[in-house]
Amino acid sequence: MAQAVIHIDRPIPDDAVGLDDQYRIVGPGDESLPEAHAAIVGGVRWDATRFELAPRLRVLSRTGIGVDAVDLDEATARGVMVTNTPDGPTVSTAEHAVALLFSVAKTLTEHQQRLRDAVGDYGGRSTAIELDGLTLGLLAYGRIARRVARIARAVGMTVIAYDPFVASDRLPNKDRAVELVDFDSLLARSDVLSLHAPLTPQSHRLFDATVFDSCKPGVILINAARGGLVDHDALVDALDTGKVGAAGLDVTDPEPLDPGHTLLHRSNVVVTPHIASSTVVGRQRMLSMAIEQAITVIDGGRPTCLVNPEVVGSRQ
């Protein structure tokens, strides 16, 4: 084909790898979509309306894992391959989830505010806890959760996980030390719950009032997956009653929260703006992987991270 056109929905760094004069880069504005053969995209919603803007599109390449912002049925009907970068954000996101856990467990926000206010008696006022000996429960046990588990076990935590799609005997040896349990056991046994599941109709607002009532009193909630996994009104109520002792959130619903939202103004809650994967190295890794997937399709190949494999039979 003639020079392929690749739309990138954000400013591209000078050191982006995998691009040369064979490809013309356009974007980030939507006005360039009509000529695009490939699109490298973040979290922008891709539905029928947006697909209509890109009639030449052959591949939609996500710089991340989740594809809940993409209408996969619409993409498949149009013969558009959808890819993601499942290995790209693993390290950065896992480290961020652990950082959120340490931040709320060690009450860093409260300590900092007391120091600013010069209240004194800092040790006597501390409610920080030790994680050694506590149980970490993981909702889903994919790449990111497994890395979180290794870090948690290194600091002395017992780790359990609920994932109906994972069989213990098929895990790598280094990940078999984690006990796989049912969902009720996950809630009943966990001192800390860390969410790593994709957002689906079944998991939408899974953590509601009923689920929080089934948790251990004072449980710590960590969410670096998708904000829609949690009913935030129920979370606020659980924080008010002490059923949830603290929360560390990188994702919310909606995103971002209104500046006046109560979750942004609680000393036992840390909220970051969906940036867990956005380390310098993480961004470069995901962009490079997304570009590689897109170029594979443009060059007539099958990408290694194809999300809608059924599209192969429908492409003309």
Residue 1 banded pLDDT, cuts 50, 70, 90: low
> How many domains is the chain partitioned into structurally?
2
Q: What is the mean pLDDT of residues 141-166?
A: 97
> pLDDT tens digits, residue range 106-115?
999 999 999 9
Q: What is the mean pLDDT of residues 32-57?
A: 94
As a whole number of angstroms, the distance between CA 305 and CA 316 comes to 20
Residue 314 has pLDDT above 80, yes or no: no
> pLDDT tens digits, residue range 271-291?
999 999 999 999 999 999 999
**Same domain as 252, residue 117:** yes
- What's the CATH code of the domain at 227? 3.40.50.720
**Same domain as 166, residue 72:** no
Provide the CB-side half-sphere exposure for 248 (13 A, CA).
24
**Same domain as 154, residue 113:** yes
- Give, in degrees to the nearest 5, the angle at Cα 49 between 44 and 50: 40
**Same domain as 128, residue 13:** no
Entry field: residues in the chain: 316
**Same domain as 78, residue 19:** yes
31: Cβ contacts below 8 Å, ≥ 6 apart: none
Residue 315: predicted pLDDT: 54
Residue 54 banded pLDDT, cuts 50, 70, 90: very high
Percent of the chain predicted with pLDDT > 70? 95
Provide the CB-side half-sphere exposure for 301 (13 A, CA).
10
**Same domain as 208, residue 80:** no
**Same domain as 126, residue 19:** no
Residue 237: predicted pLDDT: 98
**Same domain as 102, residue 229:** yes
**Same domain as 97, residue 59:** no
Phi, psi of 161 (to 5 degrees): -150, 150
**Same domain as 104, residue 19:** no
* Kind plus residue range of the DSSP H or E element containing 310: none
> pLDDT tens digits, residue range 225-240?
999 999 999 999 999 9
Residue 2 has pLDDT above 60, yes or no: yes
Question: Catalytic residue positions?
Answer: 226, 255, 274
Residue 14: predicted pLDDT: 58
pTM for this prediction: 0.88
CB-CB contact of 283 with 39 (8 Å): no
Q: Largest alpha-carbon pair distance within the chain?
A: 72
Residue 43: predicted pLDDT: 77
CB-CB contact of 231 with 209 (8 Å): yes
**Same domain as 100, residue 84:** no
As a whole number of angstroms, the distance between CA 316 and CA 304 comes to 20
Assess whether the previous peptide bond of 254 is cis (omega < 30° from 0): yes
Q: Which domain holds residue 187?
A: 90-271
CB-CB contact of 43 with 24 (8 Å): no
**Same domain as 111, residue 14:** no
